[in-house]
Structures are given as structure tokens and as C-alpha cells.
Structure 1
Amino acid sequence: MTKAKLVWVAMAAPYADIKYAFKTTADSGVSTALGHTAVDANTAVQGLIYKANHPKPRKASRTRTTGIESSYVSFAKEDDAAKAGWDISRAKSKGRKATTQRQKAVYVTLIGVKYAWAMSLKRWNVISGSAKALGIKEVTGAETDLVFGASFPRPPRVKGSVAKGEESAKFSTFYDPSAKVPTGFSTSAGTYQQGDLTLIL
């Protein structure tokens, strides 16, 4: 049985700076044709995402005597792959979140990735006063390069409590690792640094 390898492909604008990583059992010939680049412990993590729900690159597929062969294709290789007989499908992403009556879409930036998620309005009402200090930004709808549901990178988390009238409310959420966390809050590590690649290799 062929062992899966971790590779990445480049994406089209507005995600041109993103390296979409995934595991594949494609042979070297297919990987070359589709623009796969191997991920190893020395790969630069800037812009690298793994197992994201949104965005996703396009897929290339072709029919072989053994069945249908398919894999993600690098944006720069789409035309060449099509000329070589591959069918290029539209990107199928899911998981993009929007602000609704019950949730607020927010994001933090780390290693060149705008890591976004949906926060309940109840939690937002608790932490909104500390959001700026924690580097948490509200999604306005103008952003075109948000990343949702990625397993890598994963921002660090912050826990604390804030005063609400005569009471205090506890919270836990992601935060921007470049932010200066206010006194009294505790933090836990995320997975976004060079050494963290070993967790997905």
C-alpha cells in the first residue's frame, strides 16, 4: 500500500499567498504534472494551511484503466494539466461563516493567514471590549482572503474573565499570537510555528 505524503499546491488570487497542504498517494509523475510540492520539516510555514474547509483549490481528474485518478492541482499547472487530458473541476469549498443574529464572524492573522471562525454573539458580547487588545477583528464582508476550518495553522487560545456589571463572565477563544495579552488572562499554545509541522507530517 502506497504511503500518503504531505504536499501543497499554490492557489489563485485572492489566495495567491496561500499554500494549500494535503496528503496524497499520487505517484511522482502525477505530482509533477499537477504542481505538488513536498512538505517537510524545513518547509516555510508562512501562508501554509492544512485541512481547511475554505478555501480549497481545484481538482484534476482523469480516467485510467484502473479507475478514476484525481488530486488537487496547483493554479499554475491547471492549463498544462488540461492540455494533457486532465479534467479540471471547480473548487468546492465549504465552511465559510457569516455574521448572523446568533453569531459573529471574526478572524486573527498569523503566519500570513487570516484565520477566521464564527463566534457566538453571547461570547462576543463578553470579550468585545478586549477584542482589539487580543488582535481579534470583526469580519466586515470586504475581506476576500479569509481561511476557515484549518487544522494548521491553529491560533493560540486565551482564557480569562471580564467584569459585566457587578458580576464577571469567563471566556476562552483564539487570539493573535503577536498581541500583548492583558494582565490576568492565561494562554495556551497554538500550532503555527516551524516545529509544529511535525504534528501533521
Structure 2
Amino acid sequence: MPDNKYQTRDAVSVPLDNGLIYVFSTNVDTEERNNLGQTPLPAVAPALAFMGGNSPKPRRARRRTADGWNSSFCSVTPAILAALKTAGWQISKIPKKRGIITGTTARAVTVYVTVRGIKYAWNMPQETRVKITAATLTALGIQIATAADIPTLVWGASLPRPAKAQFFLATGPGNGDTLSTFVGQAQEDNLPAGWKLKSPRLMFPGDPAV
């Protein structure tokens, strides 16, 4: 049946390429969820799962019924896609993965940290990158993204979300800049001198605290 905003929404997932798993909430009925290749989210989210990301995104399937359009995300599994098409579903094109910014002349550079096994990406201003310095970036778990990373980068996920740390960089008597950035999960308890956690990482319910 078509999506109904008054129905209970449940957390489900569909597989993406490169082992990533996209988690979202849906209110389509159980039969349609099975047809679309959606899996109920277990008590402990699977490895490489993320929720609310801007990129990558799953393909979307839709089909007209007597009550209107039924639409939701679907699995990329070839067998499921073939079955959906046979059943009259329209499948969207594969969403384009977000590109990266590289080089020292651009105003920003794409970087990432690893949290819960995923590469959480964002664009860091070059000014910030230079102030933090290359050695400290490494100590914070921040990696400069390359073209080879594009297929596995995750942008804008609400879960998991890395912790943030900050550092006061003195520039003169009574003056300075407060630098703030995401940090890798493995580096949270061993930050470089002067760096302190500003906000904790956000994880799925059921994930271990460490």
C-alpha cells in the first residue's frame, strides 16, 4: 500500500555497494518491504551501517496501485531489482556519489575519519588544515581523501557521527583561534597535546560505548 504518514515507521536497511548499508525509517507494509529487499534493523546495527547520509543513497522504486503511488528505497541486489521490474516497479537511476575536493590551491579539501568502520567525510577549509598541521591531522585520525576513497566515503550521516575535538591556537598575547574538527574513533582517548573532546560521537542504540 502507499506510504501513510499516520502508520508506524520502523527502522530498516538496504545494502549499497562496497559493503555499506543504508538505514532509514519506513511505513510501507511488510510484504512490500520484503519485495524491496528491506531488512528490519536488529538490536545491534550491522557493520558499515549508517543513517541519514547525503551520499551514497540507495535507488528508489515506485509503483502505482489502486490507492496511489507506492515508493521507497530498494536493495541494489540484482535479483531483487530484476524481480521488482518484472512486478511493474519503476527503478530510479543509481544516485551519483559525491565527489571530492583535492589540491592545495582550492579553498577546502575533502577529509575523513573512521567511525564504526565507515569513512565519515567532510570538506575542511584549507586555512584550518594548515593551522592544524599535517602531523596533528594524522594524530587526530584525519585522512586526506583521494579518488580511490570516493566509492566508500559517507557524507552527512546522522548515525554514526564522529566525536569533535577542539584546540586553542595562541597567535599572540591574549589572542588566538579555537580550532574544532571531527576526530577518529580510535583517536578519541589519545588526542594530541592541548586537544580536548568537545562533543561525543553518536552511535546506534546497542553499540558498545568504546
Establish whether TM, by shorter chain, passes 0.5.
yes
Q: Does 1:190 align with 2:201?
A: yes
What is the distance in 2 between the residues matched to 1:69 and 1:91? 19
Unaligned residue ranges in structure 2 (runs of 5+): 1-5
The alignment covers a number of residue pairs equal to: 193
2:113/2:121 contact within 8 Å kept: yes
SS of corresponding position for 1:71: strand
SS of corresponding position for 1:70: strand
Paired residue for 2:85?
82
Query: How much does 1:156 deviate?
Result: 0.5
TM-score (norm 2): 0.83
2:48/2:117 contact within 8 Å kept: yes
Query: How much does 1:125 deviate?
Result: 1.4
Note the aligned Cα RMSD (angstroms): 2.3
Paired residue for 2:57?
56
Q: Does 1:98 align with 2:106?
A: no
Query: How much does 1:127 deviate?
Result: 1.2
Query: How much does 1:62 deviate?
Result: 0.6
2:100/2:145 contact within 8 Å kept: no
What is the distance in 1 between the residues matched to 2:145 and 2:99? 11
1:22/1:50 contact within 8 Å kept: yes
The percentage of aligned residue pairs carrying the same residue is 34
SS of corresponding position for 2:137: helix
1:105/1:119 contact within 8 Å kept: yes
Paired residue for 1:39?
41
Unaligned residue ranges in structure 1 (runs of 5+): none
1:93-146: CA deviation from partner (whole Å, max 9, x where unpaired): 575542472111000112221100011112111113310000100012221211
What is the distance in 1 between the residues matched to 2:130 and 2:172? 13
What is the distance in 2 between the residues matched to 1:122 and 1:111? 28
What is the distance in 1 between the residues matched to 2:46 and 2:181? 23
What is the distance in 1 between the residues matched to 2:204 and 2:29? 29
1:141-171: CA deviation from partner (whole Å, max 9, x where unpaired): 2212111111111000111134668875320
| Structure 1 range deviating more: 86-95 or 161-170 | 161-170
Paired residue for 1:148?
155
What is the distance in 1 between the residues matched to 2:72 and 2:113? 30
| Structure 1 range deviating more: 87-96 or 130-139 | 87-96
Paired residue for 1:3?
8
Paired residue for 2:182?
174
What is the distance in 2 between the residues matched to 1:96 and 1:165? 38
1:168-190: CA deviation from partner (whole Å, max 9, x where unpaired): 53201100010221132111311
Paired residue for 1:161?
168
Q: Give the 5 Å matches for 1:68-79.
A: 68-76=69-77, 77-79=80-82
Paired residue for 2:3?
none
